[in-house]
Amino acid sequence: MCGVCGGAASASDLELHHLDYAGVTLVAGRWRAQEKHADLVAMHPTCHDLVHRLIDRDTVLSRQRTRHDATTIAAARIRDALNSKETR
């Protein structure tokens, strides 16, 4: 299930969004993710892209919030937009 829209998906249809990059390191020229599972959120690729776009374009989210908080706020905005669209 997507952590943003709540839509069903198989594991192969989802991408992992990092809430914190503390566990991501460069080892022998390759990125290695060794963070805790709680620091990852599975998302549809489209939802993942939207979360990144919102965080990158919003100064408050990108500069004045932790990545975890920014992701939570961005995901809530997307859910609100989707719910609003469904009720029209």
pLDDT in tens, 18-32: 988 888 888 999 988
- Per-residue pLDDT, 33: 83
- Residue 79 belongs to some domain of the structure: yes
In a domain, 2, yes or no: no
pTM of the model: 0.82
Q: Which of 31, 26, 76 shows the shortest CA–CA distance to 50?
A: 76
Q: Is residue 4, in this structure, part of any structural domain at all?
A: no
E-strand ranges in 1-88 read: 15-18, 24-27, 30-33, 40-43
Is residue 86 predicted with pLDDT exceeding 80? Answer: no
- Does residue 39 belong to any structural domain of this protein? yes
Q: Which domain holds residue 19?
A: 11-83
Domain annotation covers residue 88: no
Classify residue 50: in a domain, yes or no: yes
Q: Give the chain's domain count.
A: 1
- The proportion of the chain whose per-residue pLDDT surpasses 90, expressed as a percent, equals 60
